[in-house]
Amino acid sequence: MHISNGIIDGPVAAIFAALALAALTACVLRGRRDLDDRLAPMAGLVAAFIFAVQMLNFPIFTAGVSGHLLGGALAAMLVGPWVGALCVAVVLVVQALIFGDGGVAMLGLNITNMALLGTAAAYALIALLLRVLPRTRAGLAVTAFVAATLSVVVASQGFVLEYWLGGTTDLGNNLGGLAGTMAGVHLLIGIGEGLITATTVLTVAKVRPDLVYALRSLRAPAAPAVPVAGGAR
């Protein structure tokens, strides 16, 4: 979902760059509370893993269209929303500055959609679903799947908002058409995102449940193993 140069005009891109910078600063300030000696290297791994999986474009049912993981839900699940947004932002910066993926001038827009909106939407859903769903592996899987799927749709609508503000082609009042196309195709991509996220989270939860941020912070009373593991949370 990386925006290329020229798709959104310069002033709007600049405004979103400033917004993204402010939001990432807030993530640094708030995320530091979560970042301890154990979470810091784990967050680096989450960023590296998201970079790797973002390379794996998978086909969706619509012919000739692919999608790839965005990673916001996965990051929110494993390292929390604040550090998670920073993880996705690190990936986007590396992609823009080294791999020519997503315009450098568009970086603020891309960070807004994928790192900020995607992660925030995912974490809101994770916090809600972990509280209402049964505390089982199935509940965790459904939480990861639904949060990831919908977070992709939310991120895609971030682009539609940006296009409404500064799109370089006059759609002739057909913004709704773009919104519908984007939502539809990203619902399908979101299913892929959901499957990858649920699989990864279940795997980590099986091997090292203490490394799943969402389980530590949102299910604390039901996880007696956490204090023993020496968590500082």
Stretch 184-203 residues interacting with other proteins (CB under 8 A): 185-186, 188-189
Q: How far is the CB of 112 from other proteins (least distance, A)?
A: 14
Name residues contacting other proteins, limited to 31-70 (CB under 8 A).
31-53, 55-60, 62, 64-68
Burial class (CB in 10 A: 0-12, 13-18, 19+), 138: exposed
Q: How far is the CB of 214 from other proteins (least distance, A)?
A: 17
Under 8 Å between Cβ of 169 and 132: no
Name residues contacting other proteins, limited to 116-145 (CB under 8 A).
none
Distance between CA atoms of 82 and 10, rounded to whole angstroms? 28
Which is nearer to other proteins, 8 or 129 (by Cβ)?
8
Residue from 16, 123, 145, 163 that binds other proteins (CB under 8 A)? 163
Binding segment (CB under 8 A) for other proteins, from list 17-25, 134-142, 159-167, 216-224: 159-167
Contact pattern from residue 67 through residue 86 relative to other proteins, giving x for each residue in contact according to CB under 8 A and a dash for the rest: xx--------------x--x
- Which whole-number Å values give the CA distances from 156 to 85, 102, 182, 212, in the listed order? 16, 15, 6, 26
224 lies in the binding site for other proteins (CB under 8 A): no
Sorted by sequence, the CB contacts under 8 Å of residue 207 that are 6+ apart come out as none
Which is nearer to other proteins, 4 or 18 (by Cβ)?
4
β-bridge mates for residue 58, sequence order: 67
Question: What is the identity of the amino acid at 88?
Answer: V
171 lies in the binding site for other proteins (CB under 8 A): yes
16 lies in the binding site for other proteins (CB under 8 A): no
Which is nearer to other proteins, 53 or 122 (by Cβ)?
53
Under 8 Å between Cβ of 156 and 60: no
Name residues contacting other proteins, limited to 96-115 (CB under 8 A).
96-101, 103-105
SS (H, E, C) 41-97: HHHHHHHHHHHHHHCCCEECCCCCCEECCCCHHHHHHHHCHHHHHHHHHHHHHHHHH
Question: What is the identity of the amino acid at 110?
Answer: N
Residue from 168, 176, 220, 225 that binds other proteins (CB under 8 A)? 168
